[in-house]
Structure 1
Amino acid sequence: MIKATKVRIYPTPDQAEFLNRQFGAVRFAYNKALHIISSQYKRHGTKLKAKALQQACINLDKAFQSFFDPKLPARYPKFKRKHGKQSSYHCTSVSCGDDWIKIPKMGPIKARIHRQLEGNLTSITLSRTVTGEYYASLLHDDGVAAPVLIHDLDANQVLGLDMGLTHLAIDSSGNKTPNPRFLKKVSANLRRKQKSLFRCQKGSKGRAKARLKLAKAHQRLANARADFQHKLSRMIVDENQAVIVETLKVKNMLKNKKLSRHIADAGWSGLIQKLEYKAKEQGKHLIKIDRWFASSKTCSCCGHKLEALSLNVRDWQCPSCSTQHNRDINAALNIRAQGILKLKAAGLSVSANGGKRKTSHALAAA
C-alpha cells in the first residue's frame, strides 16, 4: 500500500529562506500557467494542456480537468496567494532518517518522525502553514499488498450512521455522539481577534502580528476538530466490518443561511473521508447510500413512509404499526438496512449468525 505520513520539520533560518524561495517559484509557475490558460479559455473557449511544465503545472492541469469534467462540481482554479498555505513536491534524491529529512540542493532538515516508516520512500511534499510552521508529507510504499476486502460479513458488525447537528453521529445501535461544536466554543475569541485585525493599518507590523494571532486561533480550531474526527473514525472502523453512511451534498446544505455555520462546524465530509480511508486500510467496507433515500420518515419496522416530516419533529409514531421512533435512530436503522441490501447486491455474504460483537472497550477491560 502507498501510505503518507505527515511530520513536523524545523528548518534553520537559511533552510527556511531557501524553502520560501522555492515556494515562491512554485507559486509563480502555477500562477503564470493559470494566466496563460485562462486567457486562452476566455478568448477561444478552448483548453490547453499544462503537462509540459513541472509538478505545479501538473497540479494546475488536474484542477482544469476537474473543472471541465461535468461529473465533478469543481470550481475554476484560483491564483495562489503569497500569504496562504505554500507547498512544493520532490520525488528525486529524497531520503529521511530517525530525526531528519533530505531534499535536493539542501542539507538534512531536522524533523520529528513520530512513527516508524516502513518501505521505500517515493516522494516528499513540503508545506508551510499560514502560521509559519513547516511540515513534510512522506509518501512511502510499504511493499505489502493491500488487504482483501472482507467477503463474509457479520450483520452484527454492520453499522449504520446518521449525521446530525445536535449529535454529530447517531448509529444503528442507538449510540449518540454529541457534537463538540468547536467553532461555537471559540467564536468569541475569533471575533475579538478579527476585530483587532480589522482595526490595524494595512502594511503595518501590528497588522502582521494580528493576522498571525488570528491564523493560529483558526489552526487550533482545525486541529481540535481533526483530532476528534480521527479518534471517532478509528473507534468506529475498529469495531465494525462495514459502515453505512448517507451521500451528503454539503455544498447544497450550506446554502441554508440559518444552519450553514453549524453545518460547516460539524465537518461531516471530513469525518466520512477519514472513515473511508481507514476502512480501506483494514479491508473493510464503507458504503454510501443514495442521498434521496428517505431515511428519517420511513418506518424501520414496517417500511411505511410519511409524506412529510418537519425538521423540528424529533420523535414520531408510525401510523401503520404504531411503533414509536426516535427520528435519528430510526434513520440510522434504515441506512443500515439499505447498506446491507447494497452489500448483498454486490455479491457479498452478510450473515446474522455471528453473535453479539465485542467492542474495543470490552476488550481493553479484559
Structure 2
Amino acid sequence: MKVRLYPDDQAKAELDRQFGAVRFVYNKALAIISHRYKVHGDSLRASKDIKPLLAVAKRSRKYSWLKDFDSIALQEACRNLDTAFKNFFDKSSPSRYPRFKSRRGQQSSYHCTGTTAYDDESITLPKIGKIPAKIHRDIKGSLKSITVSRSPTGKYYAAILVDTDEVLPEQITDINAHSVRGIDVGLAALVNCDNGIKIDNPRFIQRSTKNLRRKQKSLSRKKKGSSNRAKARLAVAKCHEKVANARNDFQHKLSRRLVDENQAIVVETLKVKNMMKNRRLSKAIADASWHSQIEKLSYKAEQAGKHLVKIDQWFASSKTCSCCGKKVEKLPLNIRSWTCACGAVLDRDTNAAINIRQQGILKLKARGSPFLLMEACVRPTHCRLRPEK
C-alpha cells in the first residue's frame, strides 16, 4: 500500500541525505563495474563484489559519512544495479545499459524490517525516526519492508509491503457466455467492446498541451542553475504529474468496471514498441497507454477470480469478417467500416472486438472451462445486410 508522507523540514533534509547516499552507492558501483570491464575486461557483480566494500568504505576517512545511513538501503542499491544489468543482458527485455542516477527526478530508498515500523499516523525509519503519514486504510499482515520515495514535484510517499495470509480466490470455472467481453483498443475510441459499446479516448496529453507548452517555454528561457529555473522545472513536473494522475484514475475506474461486469475479458496482444515507430501516431499511442490499461485489468481480474485472455498478436481481428469468417487482403487505417462479400456491413472496431471475443472463447474452451449458456449461431447484431436491388 502506498501512503503519503508529511515530513517537517528536518525530516525532509534527512530523507534527502538518505536518497543521496543510496544514489551515491549506485553510481559508484556502476562506475567501478564499467571501468573494470573497459580497462581489464572483467565482469563484476554489484551484490557479490561491490557490496562487501561498503563495510571497508565506512572504516575509511573519505567515506566514513556512509555510517550515518541505513546499511540495508545501501546494500539494496547494489542489488538494484544487479537487476538493471540482468535486464540489460536479457534479450527479451527492451532495457538498455544502466545509467547514472540524477539528483533530479524521482528518488527512493528501501528499508527492511527491524527498526522499521508504522502506526495509525506515522511510519518509523532507521536513522531518521517517526514521520507523519496519512494511513488511509487498515493494514493487515506482518510488515516486510517500507520503500520511501520522493516524486519530481517534491512529494514524499511510502510503499508499505506486508505479508498476509489471504489466498486469492480460485478462477471461475463455469463461465456464462454472455459474460465474456471482447475488447479492441484504439485511438479514436480507447475501448471498443463486442456489444457495440465504445469508450472515448480522454486524450489527457492533448488537453494539457497548451498549459504544458507554455510552462516548458518558460523553463527553456531560465538560466541554468538559477532558483527561477528550479521553480519553472517544478511547474513543469506538476503539470506532468497532473496528467499522469488523471490517466491512472481513469484506467483504474475503467478496469474495475470491466472486471466487475464480466467473468472473462479477452484482449489482443500489442507490440507497442513497434507501433511507436509511426511518427504521426506515436504521441497519441503513448497518451493512450494501452499496456498500462491491460496491466490493471490483469491484476484486478486475478484478485477477483476472473479470466483475462490474451490472443495472438498476429490474429487479423480487423480484416476478418465476424459473420462469415472471410479475410480481406488489405484494410487501411482510414477505412473505418467495410462491406464483406457475404453482404454484411461491418464497423472496423466492433468487428475486431467480436473476433477477439470468439478467439477468447476458443482459448477458454481449450483450458477446459465449461460454458453455462452459449448463444445461438446467429448473425451478430452489428452486421447490416446491403439492401437488395
**TM-score after normalising by structure 1:** 0.92
Q: Do structure 1's residue 22 and structure 2's residue 44 form an aligned pair? A: no
Aligned match of 1:51 in 3, 22, 47?
Answer: 47
Secondary structure at 1:11's aligned position in 2? Answer: coil
**Partner residue, 2:217:** 195
- Contact 1:154 1:354 (8 Å CA) reproduced: no
Distance 1:41 1:310, change over 3 A: farther
Higher mean alpha-carbon deviation, 152-161 vs 266-275, is at: 152-161
> How far apart, CA to CA, are the structure 2 residues paired with 1:305 and 1:102?
62
Residues 224-273 of structure 1 deviation map (CA, whole Å, 9 limit, x = unaligned):
11111111011111111111111111111111100111111111111111
What corresponds to 1:326 in structure 2?
347
Give the Å deviation of 1:42.
Answer: 4.3
1:77 to 86, 95, 98: 98
Which residue of the other structure, out of 134, 158, 166, is the alignment partner of 2:180? 158
3-state SS of paired residue (2:250): helix
1:167 alignment partner in structure 2: 189
- What is the TM-score of this pair, normalised by structure 2? 0.87
Residues in 1 aligned to 2:375 and 2:127: alpha-carbon distance in whole angstroms: 58
The Cα of 1:49 is off from its aligned counterpart by 2.2
Number of equivalenced pairs: 350
- Matching of residues 1-366 of structure 1 within 5 Å: 5-42=1-38, 47-52=43-48, 53=51, 54-93=75-114, 94-319=116-341, 321-352=342-373
**Cα gap change, 1:312 to 1:43, in 2 (>3 Å):** farther
Identity %: 58
Residues 259 and 300, structure 2, Cα contact 8 Å, conserved in 1: yes
Alpha-carbon offset, residue 32 of structure 1: 1.5
Alpha-carbon separation, structure 2, partners of 1:49 and 1:341: 46
Could you list the per-position Cα deviations for residues 197-249 of structure 1 after superposition, in whole angstroms to 9, with x for gaps in the alignment? 00011111111111111111111111011111111011111111111111111
Aligned-pair Cα RMSD in Å? 1.7
Is the contact between residue 162 and residue 170 of structure 1 (CA under 8 Å) also seen in structure 2? Answer: yes
Distance (whole Å) between structure 2 residues aligned to residue 144 and residue 125 of structure 1: 22
Deviations 1:322-362 (CA, angstroms, capped at 9, x unpaired): 1111000110111111111122222322332599xxxxxxx
Task: Give the whole-Å Cα distance in 2 for the aligned partners of 1:169 and 1:208.
Answer: 39
Structure 2 unaligned spans of 5+: 52-74, 377-389
| 1:97, distance to aligned residue in structure 2 (A) | 1.4
Kept in 1, the 8 Å contact 2:15–2:128? The answer is no
Contact in 2 for aligned 1:92/1:104 (Cα 8 Å): no
In 2, Cα distance between the equivalents of 1:352 and 1:324? 28
- Gapped regions of structure 1 (runs ≥ 5): 356-366
Task: Give secondary structure in 1 for the equivalent of 2:47.
Answer: coil
